Amino acid sequence: MSITPNEISNKEFKKAFRGYDIDDVDEFLDQILEDYEKLYKECMDQKEKISILNEKLEQYSNIETTLQSTLLLAQGAADQAKESAKKESELILKNAQEQANDIINKAQQNVLQINKEYEVLKQEYNMFKSRFKSLLEAQLRELDKE
């Protein structure tokens, strides 16, 4: 049971024969009242401060929870972006490798085609050379006959 300063201020005692001196009791009660009011106000102020601090603590706890959630989401997004970038780079490398292989294959085919054409031209040259030689020899024989 808590006593308020008003209860101390309004308290009246019964008067008895040969009791305490009324002035001394009133003076002592006034001192108690003054000290009690001061303590009571301090107590109320402390309760209010505690209440305010508890509210702030609750706010900071909520902010901390929000920040942790945000951090987890950001970490997840970063991991996802990293994985996506890795997959994309692998795809780019694969495509580049395929293109390089295609270019090499085409170059090899061109080399083979050029070699075939060279062989054909070489054979045609040799045939032309043989025919021309035969023609010249035939012409020389005709000249020798005359």
Outline where the chain has alpha helix (H).
Answer: 5-10, 22-145
Length of the chain: 146
CA dist 97 and 89 (Å) reads 12
| pLDDT value, residue 20 | 75
pLDDT at 104: 97
Read off the pTM.
0.47
Residues 40 and 4: beta-carbon distance below 8 Å: yes
Using a 10 angstrom Cβ sphere, with 0-12 exposed, 13-18 middle and 19 or more buried, the burial of residue 36 is middle
Q: CA quadruple 42, 44, 46, 48: dihedral positive or negative? A: negative
Give the total number of structural domains in the chain.
1
95 is in which domain, residue-wise?
5-145
Instruction: Give per-10-residue mean pLDDT for the chain (146 aa).
Output: 73 73 80 87 94 96 96 96 96 97 96 96 95 93 87
pLDDT score recorded for residue 146: 77
